[in-house]
């Protein structure tokens, strides 16, 4: 574990969606998919420009790791999105020592507002006095990459069957990480990314061993630690590339400039 490891999670939720979709008639699914893809692009662009990173969650909702991004920046992003789209978005910000707890608090606050008689566009800050500023908090991110996925999946199965096999390994990994209060997001191909504050490399090793025993899938894992999400993810990619290049035996490589000894 590391000290002062607060992580900030922002939950982004589409509002007024049903009203807009019902106005499109029955021939609408392509328009919904285009809006969702475009919205994710903008959300990612806005948050990453400030050092954060956003993830798809369920299309109607997204999550972002937003350490160092203050209330004013959130409101500007919200306003920009609402000016570009026929829907609005609400944002709820949670801060905790683990990513799972932070998103749970953010989710619970949005659920409370959803049951309110008056419900439109909202901006809720949970533990607002703890919003993680430029010099506070830490983000730990693990980048999981399936070991030899081409041979394991792509060269031996149809594209659809390969995707199902990858999804099974994702689900197994996600539930094991949730037990440690970490989140997991699918990021394309055979890559999964986990905001995992508080997890040691030995705990990560136990988790990927358990996934292998259940699914037969092995992982290489780069772990990054930094004060902002994008930098932590960059460090994770650096660690993963060292394993891929044979510079480090793996399967887990931590890359950071701070608190390295506390994660062993």
Write the CATH number for 87: 3.30.70.1230
Work out whether strand 53-56 and strand 61-65 pair parallel, antiparallel, or are unpaired. antiparallel
Round to whole Å and give the CA distance between 40 and 60: 10
Regarding whether 217 and 256 lie in a shared domain, the answer is yes
Q: Are residue 145 and residue 259 in the same domain, yes or no?
A: yes
Q: In what order do the strands lie in the sheet with 252-256?
A: 185-186, 191-195, 139-146, 219-226, 252-256
Q: Are residues 163 and 106 in the same domain?
A: no
Residues spanned by the domain of 226: 139-263
Same domain, 13 and 104: yes
Same domain, 101 and 160: no
Q: How far apart are CA 204 and CA 72, in angstroms?
A: 36
Query: Dihedrals φ, ψ of 214, to 5°?
Result: -90, -35
Task: Decide if 48 is inside a domain.
Answer: yes
Band of residue 123 on the pLDDT scale cut at 50, 70, 90: low
* Mean per-residue pLDDT, 105-120: 70
Instruction: Give CA–CA dist 243/185, Å, rounded.
Output: 21
Vertex 77, ends 28 and 227: CA angle to 5°?
A: 120
**Can you give the pLDDT at residue 79?**
92
The answer on 106 and 39 residing in a single domain is yes
Is 181 inside a domain boundary? Answer: yes
| Whether residues 143 and 258 fall in one domain | yes
Together in a domain, 149 and 254 = yes
Q: What is the mean pLDDT of residues 234-249?
A: 93
Judgement on whether residues 174 and 116 belong to the same structural domain of the protein = no
Residues 183 and 104 in one domain: no
Q: What is the pLDDT of residues 44-101, one digit of tens each?
A: 999 999 999 999 888 889 999 999 999 899 999 999 998 999 988 999 999 999 999 9
Which CATH number fits the domain that encloses residue 171?
3.30.70.270
Residue 1 lies in a domain: no
pLDDT exceeds cutoff 80 at 116: no
Last residue in a domain, options 103, 130, 157:
130
Q: What is the pTM of this model?
A: 0.90
């Amino acid at each position: 574990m590391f000290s002062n490891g607060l992580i900030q999670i922002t939950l982004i939720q589409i509002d007024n969606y049903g009203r807009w979709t019902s106005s499109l008639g029955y021939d609408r699914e392509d328009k919904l998919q285009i809006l969702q893809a475009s919205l994710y692009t903008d959300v990612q662009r806005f948050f990453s420009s400030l050092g954060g990173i956003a993830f798809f969650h369920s299309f109607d909702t997204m999550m972002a790791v937003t350490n160092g991004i203050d209330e004013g920046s959130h409101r500007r992003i919200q306003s920009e999105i609402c000016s570009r789209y026929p829907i609005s978005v609400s944002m709820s910000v949670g801060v905790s020592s683990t990513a799972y707890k932070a998103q749970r608090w953010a989710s619970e606050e949005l659920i409370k507002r959803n049951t309110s008689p008056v419900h439109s566009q909202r901006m809720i800050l949970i533990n607002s006095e703890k919003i993680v500023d430029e010099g506070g908090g830490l983000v730990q991110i693990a980048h999981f990459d399936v070991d030899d996925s081409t041979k394991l999946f792509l060269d031996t199965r149809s594209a659809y069957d390969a995707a199902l096999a990858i999804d099974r390994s994702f689900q197994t990994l996600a539930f094991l990480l949730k037990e440690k209060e970490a989140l997991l997001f699918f990021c394309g191909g055979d890559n999964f990314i986990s905001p995992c504050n508080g997890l040691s490399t030995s705990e990560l090793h136990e988790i990927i061993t358990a996934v292998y025993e259940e699914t037969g899938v092995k992982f290489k894992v780069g772990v990054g630690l930094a004060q902002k999400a994008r930098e932590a993810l960059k460090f994770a990619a650096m660690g993963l590339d060292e394993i891929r290049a044979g510079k480090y035996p793996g399967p887990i490589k931590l890359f950071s400039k701070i608190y390295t000894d506390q994660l062993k």
